[in-house]
A and B are shown apart, each in its own frame.
Chain A
Amino acid sequence: MKRFSALVALLLALVWVGTTLAPRGNPGAFDLAAFGRLPVLADGRIKPMDTIARSGLLMLQGRQRLAASDGRAVLPEEWLLDVFFRPEEADGYRIFRIDNAEVLSLFGLGAGESAGQVRFSFAQLQSGLPELDRQSELAGPVDAAARTAFQRAVVELREHLEYYSRLKYSLQTPDKFDLLAALGDPGRLAAGRPGFEAMGTFSPLRAIPPPAPSARIDEWQSMGQSLLATLARGPVNPAARSYAELARAWRDGRPDAFNSAAGAYQAELSSRFAPLARRCSFEALFNRAEPFYTSLVLYVAAFLLAVVSWLKWPAELGRAAFRLMALAFLVATAGIVARMWLEGRPPVTNLYSSALFIGWGSVALCLVLERINRNAVASSAGSLIGFGTLVIAHNLSLSGDTLEMMRAVLDSNFWLSTHVVTVTTGYASTFLAGFLAIIYIVRGVFTRTLDRPIADSLARMVYGIVCFATLFSFVGTVLGGIWADQSWGRFWGWDPKENGALIIVLWNAVILHCRWAGLVRQRGLMCLAVFGNIVTAWSWFGTNMLGVGLHSYGFTNAAFQGLVAFVALQLAVIGLAAIPRAKWRSAALAGAA
């Protein structure tokens, strides 16, 4: 058992990773996966219906999991189909997350029967919509940064309800209009004009590709626009007909008709828009495989194994931890590469992907460090950062689709792949030095496992990583300056994000000079490195919060609270390190300052 533990752990993990990639069967007779692959233009890019469903659920209710009122699990595609074609059913799903008690009281919810609930259905909220509208109109003119928690919650809920209501107009009007029948009967089709106009106005999706193969995505139309074009000119777009068939089959509960319509449309798309159809199929597979979730679980396992290895079976469990971390890293790498391919961009394009990349970079460094030192220290730090950054990424994904289009000023793959990647590597390595230092302090104070060789090896790692961090954060900051000079005409503008990066560089320089000046030894080096976590967290998130006004934004905002908690934790660790060396449980180091 002991001898093979590392191998067993790796094999188990590999099998599990394999299952996440296996195509998942459809729970019912409907081929939901085929529907999930269908392409649609939304937010400036073509994506599969699956992404619309998942990012919609994440945005509205903070998770992808959904249950019907009878407790049956509802898949994201199933939910989306109901929104499109059976809105009366969709209105009963509890998908609107409301945390603010004052907003709940607007709807008369949060007490009595609904006490303790956080998610509500459209049907539950419907009667309160006029009042919500009024409140949101009151909050509208208030500057976004100056809004109260209640006003922010009102505006956000209003946006969510509006998005949901608009989704209902994507492929069909929410009334019982039988589109498929009307497509064969010009008189009935003409009667649908007001409905089509509403669909053209409200739909957030453009699901109908141009009739002839075309690379121009602005030729994609919404269902409403396509039907109005049919009224004006005659021919029915085959995609519109396919969606009408899907609509009727879904409403009537006829899987055979649904599957054949989905299959036929998919085949037709594959012949005309082959690369696009391939990309959408891949994205749907990527969504279902959830590589970052898999990676997160593996990091947790690796971290636990690494920590246990300090106490028992150091060689075997240490190896197991290393292998699991390596596997988690490979899975995360695959996920990041998949995103890069889908987006056609370098790895970091927004805050979400910066979280992924910071984790990835730290773990990559830890893999190297662990190969050099083989004492499970870098494995524990790496898996901890990997886990933490993926949790942060998950929370950042709640605002919608994370493959966003780049604003004009950022639209430069050259600078995204040089400046952004380097400066993010600087963040990653500064965090890594800080987490290694935390391990030093926590192990030293609470366990007897921090002996001289481990302590020295940690000190070497922290020092080396600080050097690395200095180089990368400096180069990254400079490249940012050059980008700014190229696009805005000034090398340095003292903008909050620039200042944050500069403070990281300066702090790393302080650490190095303190050590060179003999102002600190091992323990002091560790304290400085832990403070580096605060500096980096400030630059990464704090400066963004400032951008919308620190004075009014903060205290009810979850991200701000998270940042404050993180800073407090780091200060607590530094406080721990201040305990005299003789009182540490690993007191053997007492002589070493």
Chain B
Amino acid sequence: MASPRPNPLALFTSLRLTVALLLLSIVLIFAATLDQVHLGVWGVQQKYFRSFFVFSQIPGTGFLFPVFPGGYLLGAVLIVNLVAAHFYRFRFSWRKSGIWLTHIGLILLLVGEGLSGILQQDHQMRIDVGQSRRYSESFRETELAVTETTHPGYDEVVAIPAALLTEGRSIQHPMLPFLVKPVAYYPNATLRMRSQTPGAPPGPATAGEGTDIVATPIPETTKPDESNWPTGYVELAGPEGPVGTFLVSTMMDQSEAFAYQGRTWRIALRAKRDYLPFSITLLKFTHDIYPGTDIPRDFASTIRLRSDDGRDDRQVRIFMNNPLRFGGRAFYQAGYANNDRTTVLQVVRNPSWRIPYVSCALIVLGLIVQFGIHLLAFFRRRLGAPAGVRAPAVGSGGSGPDLASCPPSP
């Protein structure tokens, strides 16, 4: 079976490697499941599945040490193993057609999950009854919005991704008459009124509400029932000197207003927005419960969907298990707030959402074909065997990689 000298090709095509990878995956998934209690589901995905290695911190130091292969690595090696096995070890035959289908489906499934990890965007929309919205908001990403409110008819917005703020370099934009200089950026922070925190050191803020507030950075959280409150200080500086340093935080309800060169502006840190080429108006939200209980029976949002090109203008009911798919996005009934006056829709954009369907259909078909071939062979042998003579046993004869696709034949 195995040659005395390790041959890289033999290694990559071997069934032993397949078994080892499957076992490693089981351990990885089990560990990740347990860790969800601490990290939450999103944190676990980042640490275990959407990574090449699972890192562990050496206690007492900040050093991260890879302790286990991550999801990307296992998936990639599994793909290599499968492809290599099919090129070098298997020869196509109808008796093995089920295995081929299954494995092709599996490769597609792994690729699809990788793509989803990269491409999928999760946003949400909170809409009050009667209100219209034309953007969704990211759950996790934030942006610094600088809005010029001078014109009575419209606003002009410059949105700067928070990732640029963390780099700390000054940002210049043709629509802004000043530089945006990030002074500090905290992925998560608490805000307190300065009057209630005696002895707090003076903050960098020189203008707006921020001068009365103390912002303290705290570690990021991934727990499902907690939120991060990104916070930062940005200095705006024109050619003739600073405009002011503002405190911006997603925890602040109001944006900061200021005037510069006779024009009026607002600045705020907010959830990253994705503007849609259509608008959604919430006409009605219903929240049914079973009579005499508080068990929810259904949540439903009746909305009006109007596209900018005027081709769509219709009513849609979005409810549990019945999302709206429109404009490359899917809108799901995700929650409610504000005494049933506000609906929360989850907006998912995933161009690769069809891949799992295709790949799973292939795998299922492959399994049915393969096990069907086994079963037919089994019954044919039983029928063919004279009474009292039993068919040779599974596993009692020689087994080896040659058996890769079929039960031992008589």
Contacts and interface: CB of A to CB of B under 8 A. Distances in A.
Interface in A469-500: 470-471, 474-475, 478, 481-483, 485-496, 499-500
B26 interface: yes
A107 interface: no
Interface stretch (A275-283, A337-345, A404-412, A573-581): A404-412
A468 interface: yes
A272 interface: no
Given A411-B297, A415-B321, A489 B122 contact: yes
A515 B22 contact: no
Nearest to A550: B37
A206 B25 CA distance: 52
A251 interface: no
Given A474-B367, A546-B36, A550-B37, A489 B15 contact: no
Contacts of A45: 290
Interface in B368-395: 368, 371, 374-375, 378, 382, 390-395
B400 interface: yes
A518 B399 contact: yes
B295 A405 contact: yes
Interface stretch (B59-67, B245-253, B352-360): B352-360
A467 B392 CA distance: 19
Nearest to A542: B33
Contact of A206 (B23, B291, B394): B291
A215 interface: no
Given A491-B116, A494-B44, A519-B19, A510 B364 contact: no
Contact of A463 (B122, B297, B368, B407): B407
B44 A592 contact: no
Contact of B296 (A218, A408, A478): A408
Given A510-B23, A519-B19, A459 B394 contact: yes
B104 interface: no
A41 to B, nearest CB: 6
Contact of B18 (A490, A507, A513): A513
A510 B394 contact: no
B338 interface: no
Interface string B72-102: 0000000000000000000000000000000
A506 interface: yes
A42 to B, nearest CB: 7
A456 B393 contact: yes
Contact of A516 (B41, B290, B392, B404): B404
Nearest to A41: B292
Find the residue from B14, B299, B390 having the highest chain A CB count within 10 A: B390
B332 interface: yes
Nearest to B352: A491
A136 to B, nearest CB: 20
Contacts of A507: 26
Contacts of B56: none
Nearest to B106: A509
B298 interface: yes
Interface in B162-188: none
A453 B394 CA distance: 11
Interface string B100-142: 0000000000000100100010100000000000000000000
A213 B37 CA distance: 50
A450 interface: no
A483 B390 CA distance: 44
B408 to A, nearest CB: 10
B291 A220 contact: yes
A415 B22 CA distance: 29
Nearest to B360: A478
B243 interface: no
B323 A506 contact: no
Nearest to A591: B396
B29 interface: yes
Interface string A181-223: 0000000000000000000000010100000000001101000
Nearest to A219: B291
Given A468-B371, A510-B26, A500 B33 contact: yes
B292 A44 contact: yes
B363 interface: yes
A487 B321 contact: yes
25 contacts: A41-B291, A372-B382, A405-B297, A408-B297, A411-B320, A456-B392, A463-B407, A468-B371, A471-B364, A471-B367, A481-B360, A485-B356, A486-B323, A488-B334, A489-B332, A489-B348, A491-B353, A493-B41, A496-B33, A499-B29, A499-B32, A506-B25, A506-B26, A516-B405, A517-B14
Closest 5 CB pairs of A and B: A44-B290, A456-B393, A489-B348, A517-B15, A218-B291
Given A489-B323, A509-B22, A516-B401, 10 more contacts: A206-B292, A470-B371, A475-B364, A482-B360, A499-B29, A507-B26, A516-B15, A518-B401, A518-B403, A521-B396
